[in-house]
Amino acid sequence: MCPYSLSVPGGVQGQVLGLARAFMALGHEAAVLAPVDGVAQPGWEAVVGLGRTLPFPANGSVARLALSPLMAARTVHWLDRLSPEVLHLHEPLAPGPTWVALGRGEAKVGTFHRAGAVAGGALLAPLARVAARRLAQRTAVSDEARSTAMALAGGSAEDYRVIGNGVDLAWFRQLEPWPTDGPTVVFVGRHEPRKGLGVLLEAFGRLDPSSGARLWVVGDGPQTPELRRQFASASAVQWLGRLDDAELGRRLLAAHVVCAPSLSGESFGVVLLEAMAARAVVVASDIPGYAAVVGGHGVLVAPGDVTAWTGALRVVLADVAAGTGLASAMSLDAASRHAEQWSMTAVAERYLDSYRKAVEIRAGRTVH
């Protein structure tokens, strides 16, 4: 169950859909219950739409949530009809269908994705802690997300299993790289302040044009018009907008460098794993959620520091040209192997273990 609209791309939505596919591939029955505005993301038919959403500010971004009585009625109807053994609630404390599900008797696993301070957290904590006790198993996508969940929902670190997000690595092997004839840097994300796209654009603009590098900017958002006006003269920057999964995968396979310049609020970094799987060099902000994913297989840069980002890009693009450093074949191989521990199948199997424990707890058996 996902509280966010499946009609809008997002990290939580992608994980919910990807895990459901992985469970079905492993021989289990799975359904996705979530709000849908019009049409769900393509490629997934077993989505049960729970109603339309409204936008709400959340964690420096915008979350589309369904809060209507119709949503609640549909949630109850479909849970009664499907009779699931386990309810997996992503962001279980987010307003919407997960609140309805928390009151039910099925075995429940909750996954906490959010990182960073929660507005009004001190006021919400008492209610959140009561609600979280309805979960048989608590998981988090990173240490950072676990810390955020503990501050709001209580419990000790041992009460939360850190599993991480998953990536469909096998999918990359079926794609052909997008044509490119020079060093290519890619940004993928929503164009909003916390994603740091403006920092990357300014840093990229300070590079020597003779390097021949180009920057592909994927996605859109509230900052898109302003940033396009501000950097209209940057001929090496190509604004691609939203891409379907196939083209995005091909662009990542063609990329030499993938940048994630977020300023804060990131609990994980799926695009970093995708970049490593695609054998691109990762340059990311040095924030906890990204550092935990990158390990020693990328370059971490002070968030918001344009000078530091320019220097990092110069070094990495020089490595790309020479085939040395992180751009060497050996380093790219190691990064790709590093990403494999977060394959969607491996992550699904970890969750299945939590599902089994949740069922045992609901049945009153001791779990070791």
Structure token pair of residue 353:
């273990």
User: Could you tell me where the beta strands, DSSP code E, fall in 11-50?
Assistant: 32-34, 47-49
The closest alpha carbon to 277, from 326, 339, 345, 320, belongs to 339
pLDDT in tens, 187-240: 999 999 999 999 999 999 999 999 899 999 999 999 999 999 999 999 999 999
pLDDT of residue 58: 72
The alpha carbon of 365 is separated from its chain's Cα centroid by a whole number of angstroms, namely 34
Domains 11-166+343-362 and 169-340 share a fold: yes
The rounded distance, in Å, linking the Cα atoms of 317 and 37 is: 41
pLDDT of residue 206: 97
pLDDT of residue 329: 95
CB atoms within 10 A of CB 131: 18
Please state, rounded to an integer, the average pLDDT across all residues of the chain.
92
pLDDT in tens, 280-334: 999 999 998 899 899 899 999 999 999 999 999 999 999 999 999 999 999 999 9
Residues of the chain below pLDDT 70? 39-45, 59-60, 365-368
Structure token pair of residue 203:
């840093």
Structure token pair of residue 110:
């909750």
Amino acid found at 164: G
pLDDT of residue 122: 73
CA distances from 4 to 52, 112, 120, 226, 253 (A): 10, 13, 20, 27, 29
CATH number of 169-340: 3.40.50.2000
Sheet holding 107-112, edge to edge: 86-90, 107-112, 137-140, 160-162
User: Could you tell me where the beta strands, DSSP code E, fall in 113-170?
Assistant: 137-140, 160-162
CATH number of 11-166+343-362: 3.40.50.2000
pLDDT of residue 59: 65
**Locate tokens 């608590």: which residue?**
138
Interaxial angle between packed helices 270-277 and 329-340, expressed in degrees from 0 to 180 and rounded to the nearest 10: 130
pLDDT of residue 60: 65
The rounded distance, in Å, linking the Cα atoms of 115 and 118 is: 9
pLDDT of residue 90: 97
The bridge status of strand 54-58 relative to strand 61-65 is antiparallel
pLDDT of residue 368: 46
Q: List all residues 6 or more positions away from 335 whose beta carbon is below 8 Å from its beta carbon.
A: 276, 279, 282, 297, 298, 326
Domain-by-domain residue ranges, the chain?
Answer: 11-166+343-362, 169-340
